[in-house]
Amino acid sequence: MQSFNPPIRTLMGPGPSDIHPRVLQAMARPTIGHLDPAFIGMMDEVKELLKYAFQTKNELTMPVSAPGSAGMETCFVNLVEPGDKVIVCINGVFGNRMKENIERFGGQAVVVADDWGTAVTPAKLEAACAAHPDAKIVAFVHAETSTGACSDVKTLCEIARKYDCLSIVDAVTSLGGVELRVDEWGVDAIYSGTQKCLSCVPGISPISFSEKALDKVRNRKTKVPSWFLDLNLVMGYWAGGQKRAYHHTAPVNTLYALHESLIMLKDEGLENAWQRHAQLHQELKSGLESMGIRFVVPESQRLPQLNSVWIPDGVKDAEVRAQLLNEYNLEIGAGLGDFAGKVWRIGLMGQSCRKEKVLFCLAALQAVLPH
């Protein structure tokens, strides 16, 4: 066996996305102790930078030391108590995973279903809230990566608040790619991932909890059934400054990478990053449509960073994707769940959302598709 040298790909699927050399170089810097004052200073900066990315002043804004799925689990394991009724909006794979979380932690899931490829319908959520006045939480996905649909966080959180429910929002694919304002929109608990629009290495999940959500965590009748994800304990580790108490060993070098990618986001400006995703989506869309390729999601509900398109008739899904990978070192995403074999998912996330990559992707598709 020898050292592993991965091929150099262009990643235009549902994540991970391409990573800037600055972020990879940050990761290669010397490992220091996770309670070293120098590291603690960097952790505090990561929290500040995450507050900017989420547009929040929430004190509990921090990176969970595990991928996006662990951020999801952190929200549900801390906020759902046995017997709690939780309204969950499902319009793709990740809404289904939320339901799985609710049920595993003893909650009772009330499902608000929308078709795959469409956003969550606010009126359906409102009807469910009215029909279940004892519900305590509303959960939904902002950017449904399995379909490319974008739901209206502001409106859905308003409905949750009106019915006295906490909101849990999945922002794994939305953070850094489309407008998201945690405080202004009144989100109570939110989680994201590093490997999508933040263009960092996989393995970290930024989260943010409002005071209202934290009250619920602090006043639970039962212990959080996960030791590792129990925020009552984790908060002591991520508390500011020298008060930090050992909980687990943070992934030191991965956090260097996150720090660097968040600095890059701050330097670009959050709103400029949103705009870049929107603009290049338009370029990709024009190119795809000129090849006769059709989008899955209605135009007003589309995510710029995740473009789901119907695989053209007579085109062999796996063969085309293999050809793109082998001949062009280009990865695009396959369909997931109900969309397997029917849909491709072309990601324009973070560093993958650059003009030259859009042009490259269009040229490669043009070359491999039958004329």
96 binds ligand PLP (CB under 6 A): no
Give DSSP secondary structure letters for 111-142: EEE--TTS---HHHHHHHHHH-TT--EEEEES
The CA R_g of the chain, rounded to the nearest whole Å, is 21
Which residue's C-beta sits nearest to ligand PLP?
A: 68
Pick from 17, 121, 145, 305: which binds ligand PLP (CB under 6 A)?
145
**Of 38-46, 68-76, 125-133, 328-336: span binding ligand PLP (CB under 6 A):** 68-76
Minimal CA–CA distance to 360: which of 8, 25, 21, 16? 8
Q: How far is the CB of 246 from ligand PLP (least distance, A)?
A: 25
Q: How far is the CB of 206 from ligand PLP (least distance, A)?
A: 11
Pick from 193, 333, 335, 347: which binds ligand PLP (CB under 6 A)?
193
Element of type H or E holding 149:
strand 149-150
C-alpha dihedral over 338, 340, 344, 346, to 10 degrees? 80
Buried b or exposed e, range 91-111, using 16+ CB within 10 angstroms: bbbbbbbbbebbeebebbbbe
Q: How far is the CB of 173 from ligand PLP (least distance, A)?
A: 4
Pick from 110, 125, 141, 293: which binds ligand PLP (CB under 6 A)?
141
Question: Which residue, 190 or 364, is less far from ligand PLP as judged by CB?
Answer: 190
Pick from 44, 67, 225, 239: which binds ligand PLP (CB under 6 A)?
67
Pick from 102, 119, 172, 257: which binds ligand PLP (CB under 6 A)?
172
251 binds ligand PLP (CB under 6 A): no
Residue type for position 132 = H
Judge if the upstream peptide bond of residue 16 is cis by omega within 30 degrees of 0: yes
Q: Which two tokens stand for residue 137?
A: 């939480």
Q: How far is the CB of 84 from ligand PLP (least distance, A)?
A: 21
Tell me how many residues contact ligand PLP (CB under 6 A).
Answer: 14
How many CA within 13 A on the CB side of residue 39?
Answer: 20
Pick from 10, 11, 12, 15: which binds ligand PLP (CB under 6 A)?
15
Question: Which residue, 27 or 362, is less far from ligand PLP as judged by CB?
Answer: 27
Residues 277-306 that bind ligand PLP (CB under 6 A): none
Distance, CA of 116 to CA of 96 (rounded, Å): 12
Which residues are at the interface with ligand PLP (CB under 6 A)? 15, 67-69, 72, 94, 141, 145, 170, 172-173, 193, 195, 202
